[in-house]
Amino acid sequence: MGRIPVKWCLCLYLYLSSYLTVTLAALSKKTYIVHVDNSAIPTSFTDHIDWYSSLVKSVAVSTEGVNDEEDEQRLIYTYQSAFHGMAARLTEEEAERLEGQNGVVSVLPEVRYELHTTRSPMFLGLETQDITSVWSDKLTDHDVVVGVLDTGIWPESPSFNDTGFSTVPPHWKGACEVGRGFEKRHCNRKIVGARAFYHGYEAATGSINEEKEYKSPRDQDGHGTHTAATVAGSPVHGANLLGYAYGTARGMSPGARIAAYKVCWTGGCFSSDILSAVDKAVEDGVNVMSISLGGGVSSYNRDSLSIAAFGAMEKGILISCSAGNGGPDPVSLTNVSPWITTVGASTMDRDFPGSVKLGSGATLKGVSLYKGRRNLSPNMMYPMVYTGSNSSSPDPGSLCLEGTLDPHVVAGKIVICDRGISPRVQKGQVVKEAGGIGMILSNTAANGEELVADCHLLPAVAVGEKEGKLIKQYAMRDPKPTGNLAFYGTKVGIRPSPVVAAFSSRGPNFISLEILKPDVVAPGVNILAAWTGDTGPSSLETDKRRVAFNILSGTSMSCPHVSGVAALLKARHPEWSPAAIKSALMTTAYIHDNTYKPLVDSSTGGQSSPYDHGAGHINPSRAVDPGLIYDIGAQDYFDFLCTQGLTRTQLVVFAKFSNRTCKHTLAGPSDLNYPALSAVFPEDKRVSSLTIHRTVTNVGPPTSKYHVVISQFNGVDVKVEPSVLSFTKKNQKLSYKVTFTTKSRQTAPQSGALIWKDGVHKVRSPVIITWLTPL
């Protein structure tokens, strides 16, 4: 999507320059999401939509030359399922006036969201054998529908083959919307629904150019096809990308149905469209929603996606969202609401090795997905060049940006480029256009040793920061540097794995420290899945290659893994609430890699913490039988919000259906029955003891006895009461409390775990203890 905003800015610039700026400022309308308290409808109205229109009309300033027809178009969406309200075109002044109207709860500006992919085919391959094999007896058709909010779907992909599927589930009320390139026949028993949402997008950016873009559910970008296939793609034998990651590709829940909601267009994804999709998906009857998108979040009540997700949760729908690609910076998470399942990314045990051979005799390892006819001859050494001036720190000349490479300098050579600023695949294109014959893409301090192998247009190897430094030093010191590149295909059994991806967004959760986020990590690095027939694997316009499968990385890829596994759990346990499914995923997650050591953080090479991996890496085969679950109902989440200092009006946006009120059932936010425990000691040093309450539900054998095991923490004594839980019935609930007593306040958060064991099940909750310090 990197190149798109440029076009968009250009349009905006042309628009601006053709009007008087002064007039424009006063008149310019933007889209606002308006949350309405439906119970405040005046008796003079029988229809909510009429009332909404009249609310907008009542604040609208009639402007010269603006006719009624244009006023009619101010209302672009109404929302009735996930929450109540509308999206409307308003000037800033009008929006302010609307906020004061009776029945209007909040007026939030449209937010642009981004897809959470790094577009980085990188090292570990697809294989999810370990995840699906356990379920192979369960690969039967079932009635779970997963709504995927993304860039649409490419229905011809073999991943959406519906052979063997029974008819569409009776609860399904969705639609198959037609448009350019998408007909009724494109929906089948696998793709049971497809819709497109663009009113907000068009209001913000102008009409979609239908010659260039499908104004229909058809996916031009590839991202939506990739995520949908990861959730629920049918098995496809012999799937691969140019020979890489060869094997059987299948979604996590191959028997589930897919409903595609296209909310992202070439210029971005807009909140009014996303909300309309969530609203419709609730009405349509999806069971799980997979949302690999994120935007800026400041608070629960100002995050429209969070509000809509609350409404969906009330209807029993699990919402799985990507955590974001803002890592390794701390506090970089998005989608942190406790009723959302927030998914970080980790690696798998596959790699695509490549190497760089230098004229000095040294050989350095890297990764590559290159496959093409322009292969370098293996027995030759080729001239090499680095256009930067410092091998230790990247400089502008070394980034291979568009228009910066002099063909006289680089033609016929292998060019060393530093990562940063421009998309990695674009650097390859720049080198190729300037006549370069190969590229070495070097990480900088920002990426460390985390390797990213992309589907470049020319022979290329990506190397870590250390290797990059050695290569650059050689290229700068040697008067006639030479080198060659080699590619070794796909390698499995990489150790250690999984490893938390450097790009995966990190906690702590800045809105509520008491809710540990992310919830879990799942494969999000080098995921092979179905691709669009409309765009090449590098996503570059100049890439004329067409592939059925592509390899991508990002929390965008890890989110649909969890959505798919959630669909499997829903099929197995239809009575489980969204919180129960999340609890099962979290309490069975593992925190060790395939060398039996604690999960490593790729950005540091050291041990990762719950702020990086949450409860750990999902373990689907155990999640199906978790023993105990931490259940949470809609009222509990509401009572949690009641602890968050929101005003009554701010709370109303979450209370639309049932007239909820604060029941004050929680002593504090830490008491939300979350499957993770976070004890937060206030600045006040006199508070040396905190108690957290939890209730577990027995979903294992009726008679079972659990013993608690709790980690040791620096500076804190922890006591769990009772330390034994004896169940005599299925679905029986028993409570316990954990008391944390500070012996000495620590400067760094302390983490560990609380585990209930019955000899068969291990119900593990991560525990984190923090001490607030005065700013």
Shortest-Cβ-distance residue relative to ligand NAG: 659
Nearer to ligand NAG, 548 or 568 (CB): 548
Annotated active-site residue 237? The verdict is: no
Nearer to ligand NAG, 133 or 658 (CB): 658
Q: Does 161 bind ligand NAG (CB under 6 A)?
A: yes
The values of phi and psi at residue 392, to 5°, are -90, -35
List Cβ neighbours of 702 (8 Å cut-off, separation of 6 or more). Answer: 727, 728, 729, 730, 732
Residue 50: strand, helix, or coil: helix
Q: Contacting ligand NAG (CB under 6 A), which of 62, 163, 298, 377?
A: 163
The region that residue 268 occupies, defined by phi over 0 for left and psi between -120 and 50 for alpha, beta otherwise, is left
Nearer to ligand NAG, 109 or 158 (CB): 158
Q: What's the rounded Cα separation, in Å, for the pair 375 and 485?
A: 9
SS3 assignment for 116-142? CCCCCCCCCCCCCHHHHHHHHHHCCCC
In the complex, minimum distance from the CB of residue 238 to ligand NAG, in angstroms, rounded to a whole number? 12
Choose the binding region for ligand NAG from 5-13, 112-120, 385-393, 703-711 (rule: CB under 6 A): 385-393
- Residue 330, classified by CB atoms within 10 Å of its CB into exposed (0-12), middle (13-18) or buried (19+), is middle
Choose the binding region for ligand NAG from 389-397, 415-423, 463-471, 686-694 (rule: CB under 6 A): 389-397
Q: Contacting ligand NAG (CB under 6 A), which of 207, 393, 689, 703?
A: 393
Site for ligand NAG in 542-561 (CB under 6 A): none
Residue 287 near residue 570 (C-beta atoms within 8 A): yes
Residue 744: strand, helix, or coil: coil
Site for ligand NAG in 659-718 (CB under 6 A): 659
Nearer to ligand NAG, 467 or 514 (CB): 467
Nearer to ligand NAG, 240 or 368 (CB): 240
Nearer to ligand NAG, 471 or 725 (CB): 471
In the complex, minimum distance from the CB of residue 102 to ligand NAG, in angstroms, rounded to a whole number? 16
In the complex, minimum distance from the CB of residue 597 to ligand NAG, in angstroms, rounded to a whole number? 33
Choose the binding region for ligand NAG from 24-32, 120-128, 157-165, 756-764 (rule: CB under 6 A): 157-165
In the complex, minimum distance from the CB of residue 445 to ligand NAG, in angstroms, rounded to a whole number? 9
Which candidate in 223, 226, 617, 761 is catalytic?
A: 223
Which two tokens mark 431? 């080198």
In the complex, minimum distance from the CB of residue 659 to ligand NAG, in angstroms, rounded to a whole number? 3
Strands laid side by side in the 716-721 sheet: 628-629, 689-698, 733-742, 716-721
Choose the binding region for ligand NAG from 132-140, 155-163, 370-378, 704-712 (rule: CB under 6 A): 155-163
Q: Does 621 bind ligand NAG (CB under 6 A)?
A: no
Which two tokens mark 86? 């509308």
In the complex, minimum distance from the CB of residue 213 to ligand NAG, in angstroms, rounded to a whole number? 26
Q: Does 43 bind ligand NAG (CB under 6 A)?
A: no
In the complex, minimum distance from the CB of residue 392 to ligand NAG, in angstroms, rounded to a whole number? 4
Site string for ligand NAG, 625-664 (x = CB under 6 A): ---------------------------------xx-----
Cis peptide before 155 (omega within 30 of 0): no
Choose the binding region for ligand NAG from 156-164, 294-302, 593-601, 704-712 (rule: CB under 6 A): 156-164
Residue 560: strand, helix, or coil: helix
In the complex, minimum distance from the CB of residue 41 to ligand NAG, in angstroms, rounded to a whole number? 13
Choose the binding region for ligand NAG from 101-109, 387-395, 519-527, 709-717 (rule: CB under 6 A): 387-395
Q: What's the rounded Cα separation, in Å, for the pair 351 and 288?
A: 31
Annotated active-site residue 556? The verdict is: yes
Nearer to ligand NAG, 391 or 588 (CB): 391
Choose the binding region for ligand NAG from 3-11, 158-166, 276-284, 508-516 (rule: CB under 6 A): 158-166
State the pairing for strand pair 288-291/318-322. Answer: parallel
In DSSP terms, which residues pair with 422 in a beta bridge? Answer: 420
State the pairing for strand pair 549-552/527-530. Answer: antiparallel
Which candidate in 556, 558, 704, 765 is catalytic?
A: 556
Q: Does 73 bind ligand NAG (CB under 6 A)?
A: no
Supply the DSSP string of 207-269, one letter for each residue. ---TTTS-SSSB-SSSHHHHHHHHHHPPPEEEEEETTEEEEEE--SSTTSEEEEEE-EETTEE
Among 180, 211, 175, smallest CA distance to 194 is for 175
CA distances from 764 to 590, 629, 707, 734 (A): 9, 10, 12, 16
In the complex, minimum distance from the CB of residue 23 to ligand NAG, in angstroms, rounded to a whole number? 46
The values of phi and psi at residue 709, to 5°, are -130, 130
Which two tokens mark 760? 């068969």
Instruction: Mark 99-134 as b/e (b = at least 16 C-beta within 10 Å).
Output: eebebbbbbbebbbbbbbbbbbbbbbbbbbeebbee
Nearer to ligand NAG, 376 or 475 (CB): 475
The values of phi and psi at residue 395, to 5°, are -130, 165
In DSSP terms, which residues pair with 719 in a beta bridge? Answer: 739
SS3 assignment for 573-601? CCCCCHHHHHHHHHHCCECECCCCCECEE
Q: Contacting ligand NAG (CB under 6 A), which of 133, 363, 392, 689?
A: 392
List Cβ neighbours of 713 (8 Å cut-off, separation of 6 or more). Answer: 740, 750, 752, 767, 769
Q: Does 390 bind ligand NAG (CB under 6 A)?
A: yes
Which candidate in 143, 150, 303, 612 is catalytic?
A: 150
Residue 105 near residue 302 (C-beta atoms within 8 A): no
Number of residues that bind ligand NAG (CB under 6 A): 8
Nearer to ligand NAG, 240 or 539 (CB): 240
Nearer to ligand NAG, 410 or 655 (CB): 655
Q: Does 158 bind ligand NAG (CB under 6 A)?
A: yes
Annotated active-site residue 47? The verdict is: no
Nearer to ligand NAG, 169 or 397 (CB): 397
In the complex, minimum distance from the CB of residue 117 to ligand NAG, in angstroms, rounded to a whole number? 26
SS3 assignment for 6-39? HHHHHHHHHHHHCCCHHHHHHHCCEEEEEEECHH
Among 624, 659, 570, 632, smallest CA distance to 39 is for 659
Cα torsion through 211, 216, 219, 225, rounded to 10 = -170
In the complex, minimum distance from the CB of residue 581 to ligand NAG, in angstroms, rounded to a whole number? 27
Nearer to ligand NAG, 298 or 659 (CB): 659
In the complex, minimum distance from the CB of residue 395 to ligand NAG, in angstroms, rounded to a whole number? 8
Which two tokens mark 194? 């497809």
In DSSP terms, which residues pair with 567 in a beta bridge? Answer: none
Site of interaction with ligand NAG (CB under 6 A):
158, 161, 163, 390, 392-393, 658-659
Which residues are catalytically annotated? 150, 223, 556
